[in-house]
Amino acid sequence: MKAFISYSHKDGAALERLHTHLAMLRRDGLLETWFDRDILAGSEIDGEIAAELEACELFLLLVSPDFLASDYCFEREMQRALQRHDAQEARVVPIIIEPCDWTSSPLRSLKALPHDGKPVSEWTNANNAYLDIAKALRRITEIRDAEPNATPVAKPKDHSDAVTTERRYRVKRDFDEIDRSEFREAAFAAIRDYFQRAIAEIDTIDDLRGRFVSRSPTSFGGTIVNRARDRSAAHITVHFTNGHGGFGDIYYSFSENAPQNTAQGGFFIEADEYQLFLRGGSMMSFSGEPERLTPETAAETLWAEFLEQAGVSYD
């Protein structure tokens, strides 16, 4: 997956640190990064940038006061990235480097990194922030590669044509048990990693304690203790099954170390003619018609329900 990194040159140190933390993604062949330092001497700068804006599938925006103040970053690179995001040709991921008024920008509707959009500079150890970012980007690349319908964005053969456009083609197909199994494993891994990061962040907040437990390759658990609420504890156990369990392909209980034969809710893998996705089962407490869920949105939904069990909410 090729990523375009948009940044203000005043944030060069943040770019270098992010690039370092993405090393394993590059070594694993999951991510190829591009930024303007890759432009060779003698090249036409605007033309090179324009070509990469059209070729990349992922846009990483290093958001800071200097980024928002940069006409080139904001008006040219970010606007084109958002256009391709809205057309579902690419994905835009804001990475908040410094506190700034980014929630007043068009980026406000996007999920930002690190966790909850907390600026890197506000983390006690910036390496933890960059690790959080790298893990989230790994999930994006791994889930994309696990989607059977994922196809590369068509690249123009001749970049000299200024009117060249790119499209993402969707191919109808049938999904077999191997497709479903691979999607199930990738989805469970995404949910597990989300809970591990979120619980670690909870453990840094006053009056809250969090504990994550990896019980087996197919099961994990978590606990949140709310010291402000009579030290009450909330628990969750999440399992996934390789078979066709009645509880769901991925299912959970709000109890500690719950056995595999119990559940209070679950996610089922379904498919249309183009892709696999998750739906909440009948035991889910969500109101209205069940939504199509990606592994990430399933994790966010389940996390919100778990927080309610602990008497905690978040914006």
Residues 94 and 213 in one domain: no
Whether 281 is covered by a domain: the verdict is: yes
Residues 217 and 283 in one domain: yes
Residues 121 and 191 in one domain: no
Give residue 290's pLDDT. Answer: 55
Whether 246 is covered by a domain: the verdict is: yes
- Domain carrying residue 252: 177-309
What percent of the chain shows pLDDT beyond 70?
A: 82
Average of per-residue pLDDT values in the chain: 82
**Please, which pLDDT band fits residue 250 given cuts at 50, 70 and 90?**
very high
Residues 11 and 126 in one domain: yes
Total domains in the chain come to 2
Residues 66 and 132 in one domain: yes
**Please, which pLDDT band fits residue 195 given cuts at 50, 70 and 90?**
very high
Residues 188 and 115 in one domain: no
CB contact at 8 A, 142 and 189: yes
Section 129-158 average pLDDT: 67
Residue 153 has pLDDT above 50, yes or no: no
Section 92-113 average pLDDT: 93
The Cα–Cα gap between 182 and 202 comes to: 30
Please state whether the predicted TM-score (pTM) of the whole model is above 0.75: no
Residues 215 and 259 in one domain: yes
Residue 16's domain is classified under what CATH number? 3.40.50.10140
Residue 96 has pLDDT above 80, yes or no: yes
Whether 151 is covered by a domain: the verdict is: no
